[in-house]
Amino acid sequence: MLSLGELFVPSGRFFLVAGPCVLEDDSLNLRVADELARISAELSLPIIYKASFDKANRSKAGAARGPGLDDGLRKLERVRSESGLPVLTDVHEAGQCAAAGEVCDVLQIPAFLSRQTDLVVAAAATKRALNIKKGQWMAPEEMRGAVQKANSAGACAVCVTERGTFFGYGDLVVDMRSFERMREATGCAVVFDGTHSVQRPGRADGASRGNPEFIPTLVRAAAAAGIDGLFLETHPPPETAPSDSTNMLRLDALRELLEQVLAIIEITDRSRPRARENRSRRRRAYQACDFGRGRRTDRQWRVYRGNGVW
């Protein structure tokens, strides 16, 4: 299993969590994974594949939920084996954590469940890395408690994700101050979820709608504001997806957006007083994280820096 302890650090190496909302057939899952692996190699960008085995918080009883725990974990195991990417999935019940931890590198705590102590503790007890999403009603500083629960239960690494804050009924806004406040409060790497942040909860006859045209705007703004990682749900034709079809990014638009994000990060990193220290930390993280390709060498680091990504 991949250790993410050196990657999930504040101001460490920038990374992406991406994939379809929910697991589908193997051909679709692997099509997305293959494209993500190609982007990862070409942009020298660590990418973690994400997909859910069960969308337990759908708005309506008859909505598609996914393949379930057993079949879903088999699909994720195949993605991990064939693509070489680490994988992430979300868990909704404490009883799912042990099985998910046997397959996945990262377990995710959904935003609606971010204060559920038993769930956070069970996920952390697997000794896998955790991504805890901030509840849409929570202030950034309130995430300190969730992280403390995870750390006390033995999580090997923790990052936290901003996915928007409720703005009245049926809308979300993103406070760009949240990233620094959450990083300061938790001591964790801070991720921005650029796709769920454009959701319009309850606007589609009681289900969620979205405004995907605003994904690039929010993502670029978050990159300038100082995020450590990015979370994007992506799909070849989002309109055919069984879940979150109205707020996913088209797969063929992903690379161009990432190139813009990396360019913004390069500029903002140079302007920060601790940029030299951050680059040194990224070097150590880069060498420590092999992503199935072997330990990095000093020569590879020089080539990596020469590519102009950072």
Q: Alpha-carbon distance 201 to 57, whole Å?
A: 12
Q: Record the tokens describing residue 294, joined without a space.
A: 């072997």
- pLDDT tens per residue across span 118-128: 999 999 999 99
- pLDDT recorded at residue 128: 95
Question: CA 178, 180, 183, 189 torsion: positive or negative?
Answer: positive
- pLDDT recorded at residue 280: 54
- pLDDT recorded at residue 230: 98
Q: Does residue 1 sit within a domain? A: no
Q: Does residue 2 sit within a domain? A: no
- pLDDT recorded at residue 163: 96
- Summarize the confidence of residues 179-195 as an average pLDDT: 97
- pLDDT tens per residue across span 3-40: 577 789 898 889 999 999 999 999 999 999 999 999 99
Q: Does residue 10 sit within a domain? A: no
Q: Does residue 113 sit within a domain? A: yes
Q: How far is CA 190 from CA 11, 19, 23, 89, 237, in A?
A: 9, 19, 25, 18, 29
Residue 47 contacts residue 18 (beta carbons within 8 Å): yes
DSSP character string of the chain:
----TTTSSTTS--EEEEE-SB---HHHHHHHHHHHHHHHHHHT--EEEE-BS--TT-SSTTS---S-HHHHHHHHHHHHHHH---EEEE--SGGGHHHHHHH-SEEEE-GGGTT-HHHHHHHHTTT-EEEEEPPTT--GGGHHHHHHHHHHTT-S-EEEEE--EE-SSS-EE--TTHHHHHHHHH-SEEEEETTGGGEEEEEETTEEEE-GGGHHHHHHHHHHHT-SEEEEEEESSGGG-SS-TTSPEEGGGHHHHHHHHHHHHHHHHHHSTTHHHHHHHHHHHHHH--TTS----HHHHHHHHHTT--
Buried b (16+ CB within 10 A) or exposed e, 28-56: bbbbbbebbbebbeebbbbbbbbbbbbbb
Q: Does residue 3 sit within a domain? A: no
Q: The domain containing residue 173 runs over which residues? A: 15-306
Q: What is the CATH number of the domain that holds 142?
A: 3.20.20.70
- pLDDT tens per residue across span 262-301: 999 999 886 555 544 555 554 554 444 444 444 444 444 3
DSSP character string of 218-242:
HHHHHHHHT-SEEEEEEESSGGG-S
Q: Count of domains in the chain?
A: 1
Report which of 74, 71, 121 is spatially closest to residue 93, judged by C-alpha positions. Answer: 121
Residue 35 contacts residue 251 (beta carbons within 8 Å): yes
Q: Does residue 9 sit within a domain? A: no
Q: Whole-prediction pTM value?
A: 0.85
- pLDDT recorded at residue 293: 40
Q: Does residue 268 sit within a domain? A: yes
| Mean predicted lDDT score pLDDT of the chain | 87
Q: Does residue 5 sit within a domain? A: no
